[in-house]
Structure 1
């Protein structure tokens, strides 16, 4: 007779313990949804912070490709997501040339 298989979450009475997503998993979900919503390809995540029951991310994208690439127009978006990474809101915070640096 075959031994029944159990989900590792059920062993030891942990079946009521909710699975907690990691920040990396939440960020991947938010970036994927952001790309679907906007059609923009995230280049870098430059910030992440807890925000209530979710997270707020800063995401850099290329909004306008130019030649040479150093003259391309970049943008930073704030992307707010719930605790699972599903986007609740997003907005563009700034635009800048790829070759621009922040003032010290």
Structure 2
């Protein structure tokens, strides 16, 4: 195998390449810089955070609400499977995200049986 030396460009080639790279960075806004993350993306970020942190099966997103410094996302999780499924133990987690969709905190706010729909709404 023959190794050839790397091609050395002129100073103007390197400068032009640097300007193109800078232009690309300016054209592609970063999620951390963007002040507004769409609600759907915030919901997905909250769902992903709970899935990766708890390892539990997720039922779905129950709440996506903007806050002063980001998003509050509610995620329903199957904590314990039972037979029949009406006996499953579900939990509701609240996930706090910053404006870029990064996890700030999460907490389990409720646990309840699947069959007790009123409990999921905070009736007990």
Q: TM-score, normalised by structure 1?
A: 0.75
Q: CA RMSD in A?
A: 2.3
Structure 1 unmatched ranges of 5 or more:
none
Mapped pair 1:22 → 2:38: yes
Mapped pair 1:59 → 2:75: yes
Contact preservation (8 Å) 2:50, 2:75: no
Indicate the SS of the match to 2:86.
helix
Structure with the bigger percentage of strand: 1
Offset from partner CA, 1:22-68 (integer Å, 9 cap, x none): 11112212211221111122212111211221111111110000000
Q: TM-score, normalised by structure 2?
A: 0.64
Q: Which has the larger radius of gyration?
A: 2
Contact preservation (8 Å) 1:28, 1:85: no
Work out the CA distance in 2 between the residues paired with 1:30 and 1:87.
8
The range that moved more, 62-71 or 25-34, is 25-34
Mapped pair 1:70 → 2:86: yes
Work out the CA distance in 2 between the residues paired with 1:40 and 1:52.
29
Contact preservation (8 Å) 2:60, 2:75: yes
Contact preservation (8 Å) 2:78, 2:91: yes
Question: Between Structure 1 and Structure 2, how many residues are aligned?
Answer: 93
Structure with the bigger percentage of helix: 2
Contact preservation (8 Å) 1:62, 1:74: yes
Report the counterpart of residue 79 of structure 1 in structure 2: 95
